[in-house]
Structure 1
């Protein structure tokens, strides 16, 4: 598998000439954090915490909740632990008592920008509060931009992110050998 910015047409031509085919498209979206961030009420039984997942049981619980939300597709424990070691890493995780119902992961891209990624919410708890809480934290931390990646076929997610002020930044084409 190879991912290429859609603007790199010569490189795309090269890979296509070698037998690669497009398997997926990823939209990279940008949120200007200098713009107002909408407020959404949290349900009474939900708390959103900045959570470090400091023990392996917490990490396993996170992966289980993520797999449930992503229909069985989740990172491995090794990948999650590797991500935790990155600069500016953290999560804003929504809990119903001890049960994880959603999360937004962040990591630093540069001084102005952080990623808001691996966003999931259990279908029974779909609200916008976890994402806006994360955006407010990044804004208060001095960031001016937040980005995320979303598969191009995830129409509901794209509409949600647009409603929160994210706009298209670029398209990444995923290529693989047929």
Structure 2
């Protein structure tokens, strides 16, 4: 192997990173994280050979659980490791980046509440065989699969009605109290992967981000987020659709989904995307009824850190 330099990402790497991105995503069958703002670059590592970026590794804290949470709940840190297609079976190259990712993950773990364990994971398209097998060789085991689903926004969006006593509020996270309420309900719905303050704050930085909330009196019963993928191809993104258990099967989820689709269409999007677990039959039924179709499958693997 020729001499390869592995180091943290720097500003002068941006153009060369674009070359790697286009090579890796040419067939739209790879999960590739963009590097984000400069404050995130200590979590990004590049492998350089002959002045060319031939691989990139990235690590991020995806979700955390607050102190005092049940001990079975976990913090989640995820990796994203990509190499040039011609090097996808070059496991010694993977090793160089993986070592950096693992060391950085341990550093990030030290910043998390120590009352709960930390899980490290990866998510790849099911077709990324060499990448998936590499992580399996490192002790990662299958966790779950998710479909990416897409809907054509040129097609008619069914109008839905919210029945009494529920009422709809748009963009209603306008105080710290409201944010804390939302995070508490999100934790209730997704105990294994709550969104947390940081992820919510990161999503809110998107200029087109909005949230739709349904309440019964003052009780938050359901919500959905939507924004435009400004770093990608301009698709509309839908995320974190939930309805609390005792309020389900009353048309609330369908109403929220309709609101989000209408918002994205009015903001110029021609399609909308979301992810859903392949085992979630009720959610799949809802999304199919709203015109969504599966376009790819992501497989996730994890292990304890």
TM-score normalized by structure 2?
0.54
> Residue 69 and residue 11 in structure 1: after superposition, are their counterparts in 2 closer, same or farther (change >3 A)?
closer
| 2:186 corresponding residue in structure 1 | 66
Of 164, 167, 176, 2:293 maps to 167
Report the Cα offset of residue 72 of structure 1.
7.1
> Which one has a larger percent strand, Structure 1 or Structure 2?
1
Is 1:6 equivalent to 2:149 in the alignment? no
CA contact (8 A) 2:228 2:269 kept: no
Unpaired segments of 5 or more residues in structure 1?
Answer: none
Report the Cα offset of residue 15 of structure 1.
2.8
Of 98, 119, 140, 2:266 maps to 140
Of 109, 118, 129, 2:240 maps to 118
Report the Cα offset of residue 40 of structure 1.
2.1
Q: How many Å separate the matches in 2 of 1:164 and 1:71?
A: 27
The CA RMSD over aligned residues, in Å, is: 2.0
Is 1:49 equivalent to 2:153 in the alignment? no
Higher normalized contact order (CA 8 Å, seq sep 6+, divided by chain length): 1
| 1:105 corresponding residue in structure 2 | 225
> Residue 166 and residue 55 in structure 1: after superposition, are their counterparts in 2 closer, same or farther (change >3 A)?
same
CA contact (8 A) 1:30 1:146 kept: yes
| Deviation digits for residues 27-69 of structure 1 (CA, Å, limit 9, x no counterpart) | 1111111111122221122222221412211101111222333
CA contact (8 A) 1:49 1:94 kept: yes
1:60 match: secondary structure: helix
CA contact (8 A) 1:20 1:175 kept: yes
| 2:196 corresponding residue in structure 1 | 76
TM-score normalized by structure 1?
0.89
| Moved >6 Å (runs of 4+) | none
1:15 match: secondary structure: helix
> Residue 16 and residue 67 in structure 1: after superposition, are their counterparts in 2 closer, same or farther (change >3 A)?
closer
CA contact (8 A) 1:70 1:120 kept: no
1:116 match: secondary structure: strand
Report the Cα offset of residue 166 of structure 1.
1.0
| 1:86 corresponding residue in structure 2 | 206
* Counterparts of residues 22-37 of structure 1 (less than 5 Å): 22-37=142-157
